[in-house]
Amino acid sequence: MTGRGTDDTALRLQHATIGYGDVAIVRDTDLTVRRGEAVAVLGANGSGKTTLSRGLLGLATVLDGTVEVLGAPVGRLRERGRVGYVPQRHTISGAMPATVREVVGVGRLARLGLFRRLGARDRAAVADAAAAVGLADRLEDPVASLSGGQQRRVLVARALAAEPELLVMDEPTAGVDAASQEALATVLAGVSAAGTTLVVVTHETGPLAGVLPRAVVVDSGRLAYDGPLAGAEALAGTGGHHHPGEDEGPAVPGYRLDQPRPAPDAVRVRDGSR
């Protein structure tokens, strides 16, 4: 975090329109996130949360306006590994013979550059990242032998291992049991306290609420709210984000703004295209 300029802005979107091909999904968005902030991205299914987060990684196209990440136009960061990413609904292929240690190590390689060997400091970072997600005792196990929730935790560890300055996570708690969600919240609190900027897409603010004081709500491709997380919850409570056909079930503790739903396969494949 040192020696990389005095700008304390982690993210700056100005009139940013982000999409795929020439199709605009997230439109005319202004958003500034300072270094060290921790921001929840909330919103109904299909509102554009994943597109927004992928736009921060250079995985979706900036069609208009500007997106600056850590002081540089998105996609032009000289050093990889400064931005960590946990994609949505991405688990590791069952055919992949790699161990947990190897997959988490890939995150560390992103920081070093490919074809450089992990040193002692890197190996320690890999072990620490695995421990942080509760998988210290599974380092030598094939990832294919882990449950879906555990595989998601491997991907979180892979992102943590790079010790990124900005960590973007797309529904990191989806499909993860309650105890693991609490554990992840503790990990993110530590990472945040150490100065890492967090942008976390989530539909379930219960365990993460204490870690993410600020929230933005995406509604039909536009930012409908930017402020304290509690205010976003109140906004959701008014029914301001009702969409026709949405489930009208009773409010549940740790309410959900965004019910999980199966995504088209093509979208899922592209989600994992990093």
Residue ranges binding ligand ADP (CB under 6 A): 20, 23, 25, 43, 45-51, 267, 270
Per-residue tokens: 125: 């970072």
Residues 225-244 touching Mg ion, rule: CB under 5 A, are none
Range in contact with Mg ion (rule: CB under 5 A) among 6-14, 84-92, 187-195, 206-214: 84-92
Judged by beta carbon distances under 5 to 8 A according to partner kind, the member of Mg ion, ligand ADP, none in contact with residue 222 is none
Contacts of 129 (CB under 8 A, 6+ apart): 104, 107, 157, 158, 160, 161
Picked from Mg ion, ligand ADP, none, the partner binding residue 61 (CB below 5 to 8 A depending on kind) is none
- For residue 193, the surrounding DSSP H or E stretch is helix 178-193
Q: Which two tokens stand for residue 157?
A: 């560890």
Distance of CA 90 to the CA centre of its chain: 12
Q: What is the largest CA-CA distance in the chain?
A: 55
Q: Closest approach of Cβ 236 to ligand ADP, in Å?
A: 14
Task: Report the partner that residue 46 touches, choosing among ligand ADP, Mg ion, none (CB closer than 5 to 8 A by kind).
Answer: ligand ADP
Residue with tokens 């320690």: 124
For residue 51, the surrounding DSSP H or E stretch is helix 49-55
- Residue the block writes with tokens 């999409």: 19
Least spacing, CB of residue 42 vs ligand ADP, in Å:
9
Supply the minimum distance, in Å, between the C-beta of residue 84 and Mg ion.
Answer: 18
Residue 21 beta carbon to ligand ADP: minimum distance, rounded to whole angstroms: 7
Considering only the stretches 20-28, 48-56, 216-224, 234-242, report the one whose residues sit in contact with Mg ion under the rule CB under 5 A. Answer: 48-56
Residue with tokens 């105890």: 179
Q: How far is the CB of 168 from ligand ADP (least distance, A)?
A: 13
In sign, the C-alpha dihedral spanning 174, 180, 181, 183 is negative
* Binding residues with Mg ion: total (CB under 5 A): 3
Q: How far apart are the C-alpha atoms of 44 and 271, rounded to whole Å?
A: 18
Question: What is the bridge-based pairing of β-strands 222-228 and 214-219?
Answer: antiparallel
Residue number with CB closer to ligand ADP (49 or 101): 49
Of 29, 50, 180, 205, the one binding Mg ion (CB under 5 A) is: 50
DSSP 182: H
Q: Is 192 in the site for Mg ion (CB under 5 A)?
A: no
Helix and strand tally (H, E) in the chain? 7, 10
Query: Given the rule CB under 5 A, which of 19-27, 49-57, 62-70, 230-238 is the region that contacts Mg ion?
Result: 49-57
97 vs 244, beta carbon nearer ligand ADP: 244
- Name the residue nearer to Mg ion (CB basis): 55 or 105: 55
